[in-house]
Chains A and B, each alone.
Chain A
Amino acid sequence: MQTAIHAEHLTKWFGQGEAKTFAVRDVTFDAHFHEMLYIVGPSGSGKTTLLSIISGILRPNEGAVSIEDIDVWSQSENRIADMRLQKIGFVFQDYHLFPNLTTLENVAIPLVLKRGEWKASLEVAAKFLDVVGLSNRAKLSPGRLSGGEQQRVAIARALASGPDVMIFDEPTASLDGDTGKKIVEFVRSEVLTDRRCIVIVTHDDRIYPYADRILYMEDGRLLEDRGGVAHA
């Protein structure tokens, strides 16, 4: 399989001197296209920090990350922002949808940021909203949607930029069991493509069966790389 993300000896610490705390220690791994990779572990194990580093949000103190062979952290800040926009789709834990925009406008945001003309962006966004089954909610504010629906809007927004890598932060944390499973099933069956890699940080062991591979973290270290998990 072709490598989508290559992380090498990633180390990140916060504070200095006695207050120095390691969040990620010497983590090396690869993620591939058409792979659903989970990063799991207890709270404070460094999952979210690792996710932030590989997605070009948090600069590591040591080590390097490449996405499709491009070294992320050797780029300028603007280039990294462009890279996030062009190559990475984010689905945040709290979705971070704009309550003052309609559902459709929320989905159109990455398209507008990518030099999209407003009307054309809305037209394309409508297609993605249709894909996640929410075309009938296009004019509503996200505040009027259920948690599962908001999650789907967030997925549509992440998909809209046509990313090669999709990052999900605790995608089922705010959902009931059934809805959570359905969301992950949908991601597995429809969002994961030959040209896309999905990285999910989660606590939720009910969705482990959908993973291709699970990285287990503790105290900032990658303890285990459980490959070949059977998925549903």
Chain B
Amino acid sequence: MFGAVQMVRAAQTRVLGFRAASRGTPNALVERVLGILRIAYKLLVNDRGKFIAVLMGMTFSVFLMIQVTSMFSGMMKKASSTVTNTGSRMWVMDRSVTNVQSAIPLPDYVLDAVRSIEGVKYAVPLYSGGALVRLKSGVYQPVTVIGLDDTSLLGRPELIEGTIEDIYAENGFVVVKDPEFSKLENPKLGTEFELNDNRGVIVGIANVPASGLFGMPTLYTTYSRAIQYIPSMRYTMSFVLVEPKSPAAIPHIQEEVEKLGYDVTTEQGFIDRITNWYMFRTGMGMNLLLMTAIAFIVGLSISGQTFYTFVLENLEKFGALKAIGAKGRELVAMIFFQAGLTGIAGYGLGVGLCAALIALARLRMPDYASIITAGNLLLALGMVLVISLLSGYVAVRKVLRIDPYDIFRG
């Protein structure tokens, strides 16, 4: 009936020899673990329906987490665009300033006082404010105007058309070519407009690393022209930009500026301050937290539940493995490997899906405010690991409790 039955003994001899050989191998433990993990992998992946369900849950969860946090990162990048684009090492401002838009004008003596601090290489004023421009068509368009120090033009943008010296020409303005550019009716060199009844002329078209958050075009001009054209209060300086002689001078400069009653921060410090303001002083942080928590719960409930069901359905098989001689720690390794594998695979798919959607959105909206940062990726990875660990833990508890005796009882 079975044929070749004499091979039993030969095969047994082989397996005994194989066993002895395996025991003598230095990497025996590694080989055993790899073998067991391979079984775990096949058990998981070959159960296509469940595997896809767990994977989809994890992917969706990661997608949501990355999407929400990357939108926040994108918006924060835009909110800090003036700081990033200017590129000054240090910023002096009023203590109440929380972001660029809420700049409180500083008296002129602050500039002189800062310049006199030991360790300051140079310090220049910066104007940042909003204005309405009247375009040739008669349309009024709100814009952001940045007034650069007349002498140094510190913080000037990179020009793609025109020359920076022309900013000193009569009524000269440089326009930033970003997604808001078209709101100024796609100006060219020489295009004229009115700003507070003053004539303005486009003398340059520039590129900047980040565009603003509020969808307004940006114009650069000199500090003196900015304060001349735009109605202002008694004081006119929005910020003082400081270049320290060395990084070691920064603490002393901070100390001295604080003695003046003002605040000074590094570029990154200012960006962090803006981010913190949006995160904790507006509803954004809470929304971000809620959306991330929802994504986490969705991921945990779909993936955790499906993974638990998968383990429950295979409980007898795990019991059989235990009866055959698998140890508890080997079953634990199998389950955590399965949970981890789905987590990592779902993570990769989720990140990929999010990146694809952002790329797709940028085809239509080049300025789509969404950036996947290392922080977003790490946060999502951490969440995925927590989901995997929790799913695995619940399943492991069940598997460790199963008694192989139940397998015999049927």
The interface of chain A, by Cβ under 8 A from chain B, is: 48-49, 51-52, 55, 57-58, 77-78, 81-86, 88, 90, 92-94, 96, 98, 100-101, 105, 109-118, 120-121, 124, 127-128, 130-133, 152, 159-162, 169, 182, 185-186, 189-191, 193
Assembled-state Cα–Cα distance A185/B1 (Å): 10
Partner of A96, one of B1, B16, B19, B320: B320
Q: Are the C-beta atoms of B8 and A159 separated by less than 8 Å? A: yes
Given A113-B36, A190-B2: A81 and B18 within 8 A (CB)? no
CB under 8 Å from chain A, chain B span 1-60: 1-5, 7-12, 14-16, 18-19, 22-23, 25, 28-29, 31-32, 34-36, 38-39, 42-43, 46-47
Residues of chain B lying within 8 A (CB to CB) of residue A83: 325
Q: Are the C-beta atoms of B14 and A113 separated by less than 8 Å? A: no
CB-nearest residue of chain B relative to A80?
B325
Residues of chain A lying within 8 A (CB to CB) of residue B19: 114, 162
Residues of chain A lying within 8 A (CB to CB) of residue B47: 100
The interface of chain B, by Cβ under 8 A from chain A, is: 1-5, 7-12, 14-16, 18-19, 22-23, 25, 28-29, 31-32, 34-36, 38-39, 42-43, 46-47, 314, 316-317, 319-328, 330, 403-405, 407-410
Q: Are the C-beta atoms of B35 and A110 separated by less than 8 Å? A: no
Assembled-state Cα–Cα distance A131/B31 (Å): 26
Residues of chain A lying within 8 A (CB to CB) of residue B403: 57-58
Partner of A109, one of B12, B29, B321, B407: B321
Residues of chain B lying within 8 A (CB to CB) of residue A90: 320, 323-324
Partner of B409, one of A48, A115, A127, A162: A48
Assembled-state Cα–Cα distance A49/B330 (Å): 26
Residues of chain B lying within 8 A (CB to CB) of residue A100: 42-43, 46-47
Q: Are the C-beta atoms of A113 and B29 separated by less than 8 Å? A: no
Given A98-B317, A100-B43: A133 and B405 within 8 A (CB)? no
Tell me, rounded to whole Å, the shortest Cβ–Cβ distance linking B79 to chain A: 51
Q: Are the C-beta atoms of B323 and A84 separated by less than 8 Å? A: yes
Interface of B is mostly: helix
CB-nearest residue of chain A relative to B3?
A133
Q: Are the C-beta atoms of B324 and A162 separated by less than 8 Å? A: no
Q: Are the C-beta atoms of A127 and B7 separated by less than 8 Å? A: yes
22 contacts between A and B (CB under 8 A): A57-B323, A81-B326, A84-B323, A85-B325, A92-B408, A98-B43, A98-B314, A100-B42, A101-B43, A101-B46, A109-B324, A112-B39, A113-B32, A113-B35, A113-B321, A115-B31, A115-B35, A117-B31, A117-B34, A124-B14, A162-B16, A186-B1
Tell me, rounded to whole Å, the shortest Cβ–Cβ distance linking A81 to chain B: 5
Assembled-state Cα–Cα distance A73/B35 (Å): 29
Given contacts A124-B15, A162-B15, 18 further A-B contacts (CB under 8 A): A51-B408, A52-B408, A58-B405, A78-B327, A100-B42, A112-B38, A113-B326, A116-B22, A117-B31, A120-B18, A124-B14, A127-B7, A131-B8, A159-B8, A161-B325, A162-B16, A189-B5, A191-B8
Q: Are the C-beta atoms of A190 and B16 separated by less than 8 Å? A: no
Tell me, rounded to whole Å, the shortest Cβ–Cβ distance linking B298 to chain A: 27
Partner of B11, one of A124, A169, A182: A124
Partner of A161, one of B15, B31, B410: B15
Assembled-state Cα–Cα distance A100/B50 (Å): 12
Q: Are the C-beta atoms of A86 and B325 separated by less than 8 Å? A: yes
**Ranked 8 nearest A-B pairs via Cβ:** A85-B325, A96-B320, A112-B35, A100-B46, A133-B2, A127-B11, A115-B32, A84-B325
Residues of chain B lying within 8 A (CB to CB) of residue A96: 316-317, 319-320, 407
Assembled-state Cα–Cα distance A10/B403 (Å): 20
Residues of chain B lying within 8 A (CB to CB) of residue A110: 324-325
